[in-house]
Structure 1
């Protein structure tokens, strides 16, 4: 394997350090459980370099909602960085639209993805378009990170920033706003992939073995790792806590695991519509499961053991038979990608 370029590794390290600094400092000022906010007044001042920032006290007041896990949706969140012409072009609508969830400070992660599985030209003859979906950084860093994001977006043209605070509990909003963007600007995409940034993705396997470009249309198609017969966790000490006032039932409907799932374009449009009629909950994969249940759709099983929700050590032949592996960091992607792309004639045929 050739040495990894120093500049790219530096970006990854700087991004990681910045992320850690954000967590440490913001935790002193902003409740990490705050899910959503009305940012219209904040956007008009905080992002204007010639206007002083509002006080932290005002920001905290704006950030409060009636319940710490209560999401405001539907709501007129603005697209602050947008590319409405992303899906236009002489070759027609994309076969696959990738909506990649990252945080504003994840500069190194986004660059690593562009250099690896997020490369739009990886599969000859297949039109792929990539957008990184992100919200707003914590208030202490809004102006600085906004300047960096503008520069990054000017260079790559692939950031979709939406006007709400970027937190874990707002992930549902990120997904829904990504689907809203698709409905407005890319409604003819054949498939839509929702994927987190901390994964290994095998686009060739996903396209050729799972989506099958030459296969028949599948308007009600959604697949990934399918969770069945799971129920809400009622203990607030856990990350996936679900209070009873937000979800009364003892079981969740079948749903595809959040690290990565793919759906047909027509179903993505229907999910975007029906989501506006349901009470949004902060577990985005469960909420998408509630949406498809409302539509009378069940997830389609993928090829067995191809969407892994757990960490797996890299092995060339094994990874060529996988669609997705969770818990991969940017530096790891860069280290394995050249070997992954190389041809290995010793791999057994399965």
Structure 2
């Protein structure tokens, strides 16, 4: 029998053993222990399944260079941009990712992953310029699958080998195809036309900065003899005669010269839902330096190597034309306004023959439109 005090203590959870097990059955003790273990196991299991509220919490606190993958849905495809940024990272650990498995030492990496030295050419035309000795080289960044766009250029302005007595050359720059079948088709196209250059970066919208820097590297290393080069998008019309007249004008500089559609005083887009969003970690200034719209800009070819060199010191970001402008600022070189700014046009609207005869560049709606316009402009008047 228990005293009243012992009963009260039992009701509040206190068990008096009084030095022996006679008052409490061993089975009850075992049950209490098992119940406690079940609760502990359930708690640990539940914690391990909790979602990570911020992906950065998987890493240790450190000022370090971290590789990120940023993706965007474009035309139903997942496009990836790999880049390096310096970031202070908060940390917790999980059973799967203990702190001990993560290096916390800061890394000093001068070159951004967009720098062309990080890539190599899969398809190349290294002797093209030596054989051709071009005055002007058109470099066209294009997606691997855009065969129709390449063929339209090949049958129009890209088919011209001489303008006003000066040799011109057109080449296409592509990234990875994404599969062996597509790669095989690209290699067949390369053997047929000998105008494809391919590098081993992911070919996506967010990688246009990488694509542009690889173009600059190709020009600097494979084609230093060219006097001028032009980065020109695949949906563009080019008035070759007007462009050549500009480059051959006596007052056009032969060095440190770049011109096109000038962009002044442009604010950096911080809206994360925008296609043109740039994080402050990548570009902290509120506005870009003056740059040239990426649809098509022409430059003296000495700049290609200088821009590549400047990119070692300029952290890259995903707006390729603004990035080139930032590299130019690093070099102390200002883009030039063209003698007639109306010759570099974004859109001309409804087709009028006289308008196209006056311009150097404008954006078109389709490869077929380029073919139709080119045929009309070449008709004798």
Classify the secondary structure of the residue corresponding to 2:271.
coil
2:270 pairs with 1:224? no
Aligned CA distance change for structure 1 residues 96 and 247 (closer, same or farther; 3 Å): same
2:113 pairs with 1:76? no
Q: Distance in 1 between matches of 2:160 and 2:223?
A: 16
Q: How far 1:272 moved relative to its partner?
A: 1.8
Moved more, 211-220 or 112-121: 211-220
Aligned CA distance change for structure 1 residues 216 and 283 (closer, same or farther; 3 Å): closer
Residues 76-105 of structure 1, C-alpha deviations (whole Å, 9 max, x = no match): 21100000001013x6x3111111010000
2:288 pairs with 1:252? yes
Q: Distance in 2 between matches of 1:82 and 1:71?
A: 23
- Segments of 5+ residues of structure 2 without an aligned counterpart are 1-73, 84-110
Kindly indicate whether the alpha-carbon contact (under 8 Å) linking 2:314 and 2:330 is maintained by their aligned counterparts in 1.
no
Aligned CA distance change for structure 1 residues 124 and 311 (closer, same or farther; 3 Å): closer
5 Å matches for 1:233-248?
A: 233-248=269-284
Kindly indicate whether the alpha-carbon contact (under 8 Å) linking 1:311 and 1:328 is maintained by their aligned counterparts in 2.
no
Q: How far 1:277 moved relative to its partner?
A: 2.1
Residues 310-342 of structure 1, C-alpha deviations (whole Å, 9 max, x = no match): 352221111111000023310101111111122
2:324 pairs with 1:282? no
Classify the secondary structure of the residue corresponding to 2:166.
coil
5 Å matches for 1:1-350?
A: 23-24=75-76, 27=77, 30=78, 32=79, 34-36=80-82, 72-74=113-115, 75-89=117-131, 93-138=133-178, 142-208=179-245, 210-212=246-248, 217-302=253-338, 303-344=340-381
- Segments of 5+ residues of structure 1 without an aligned counterpart are 1-21, 38-69, 345-350
The TM-score with structure 1 as length reference comes to 0.76
Q: Distance in 2 between matches of 1:329 and 1:308?
A: 17
Residues 222-250 of structure 1, C-alpha deviations (whole Å, 9 max, x = no match): 00000001110110111111111111111
Kindly indicate whether the alpha-carbon contact (under 8 Å) linking 1:35 and 1:71 is maintained by their aligned counterparts in 2.
no
Aligned CA distance change for structure 1 residues 122 and 314 (closer, same or farther; 3 Å): farther
Q: Distance in 2 between matches of 1:328 and 1:116?
A: 15
Aligned CA distance change for structure 1 residues 108 and 163 (closer, same or farther; 3 Å): same
The TM-score with structure 2 as length reference comes to 0.70
Aligned CA distance change for structure 1 residues 310 and 317 (closer, same or farther; 3 Å): closer
Kindly indicate whether the alpha-carbon contact (under 8 Å) linking 1:71 and 1:170 is maintained by their aligned counterparts in 2.
no
Kindly indicate whether the alpha-carbon contact (under 8 Å) linking 2:164 and 2:244 is maintained by their aligned counterparts in 1.
no
Structure number with bigger Rg: 2
Q: How far 1:268 moved relative to its partner?
A: 2.0
Q: Distance in 2 between matches of 1:154 and 1:251?
A: 44
The RMSD of aligned alpha carbons is 2.1
Aligned CA distance change for structure 1 residues 260 and 216 (closer, same or farther; 3 Å): closer
Classify the secondary structure of the residue corresponding to 1:131.
strand
Q: Distance in 2 between matches of 1:283 and 1:256?
A: 11
